[in-house]
Structure 1
Amino acid sequence: MEIWINPACSKCRTAVGALDEAGAEYTQRRYLDAPPTVAEIEDVLARLDLEPWHIVRMNEPIAREINLKQVPKDAEHRADWIKALAEHPKLIQRPIITLDDGTAVIARDEETLARVTGA
């Protein structure tokens, strides 16, 4: 299992704490320091069963700077959204946990963390 985190994020710290408390084996990826590639983002989206615009932090200043709200949320522009996430990883919702069963979750709430940790 791998968790994509920003150490400055309280939700990420909570998720890491829950994984540690559960004794889970995982790898931390500080995705701002080691940004995911387009292929990795596509893989995570498939695991999440979401489209790229579903995992974008639209309130980040960079979203406004690159006019992301103007990009249509459709199949024709899907690659533009993924490219934005790859070029500006701060836009990626966090924390994302990729599970060994081939799925992934955005672990921002206690219920999701409980499912991941078995608590």
Structure 2
Amino acid sequence: MEIWINPACSKCRTATAALDEAGISYTVRRYLDDPPTPEELSDVITRLNLDPWHLARLNEPAAALVADLPRDEAHRADWIRLMSANPTLIQRPIITTDDNTTVVARDPETLATVLKTP
């Protein structure tokens, strides 16, 4: 299992604490220090069954980079490229289980789905 976190994020700390409490082994990726490549981010977005703009943190200062970018298939790669280059735009925490199930664990219900994963 891998979790993409920002250690300053309370939801990320909640998720890692829950994984620790459940005794689940995981690898931490501090995605601000080790940003995903566009290919990695595209794979995650595909597993989440989302469009990139649904995974974007639009309240970040870097959101100005995507503010006028159309939310359509023609601009999907642009969104992914900008999010990869500016990882503060990526929602967190993102957990990928060993079977490649991927979730954005921002709420207790979603987090609970990975805690049940063997």
Show the counterpart of 1:48: 48
1:22 aligned to 2:22?
A: yes
Moved over 4 A (4+): none
Match for 1:102 among 70, 95, 100? 100
1:3 aligned to 2:3?
A: yes
Structure 2, unpaired ranges of 5+: none
Q: Could you tell me the TM-score, scaled by structure 1's length? A: 0.95
1:61-108: CA deviation from partner (whole Å, max 9, x where unpaired): 1112x2x12111101000110011111001000000011112200000
The percentage of aligned residue pairs carrying the same residue is: 63
Q: Could you tell me the TM-score, scaled by structure 2's length? A: 0.96
User: How many angstroms apart in 2 are the aligned matches of 1:98 and 1:10?
Assistant: 19
Count of paired positions: 117
AA in 1 matched with 2:103: V
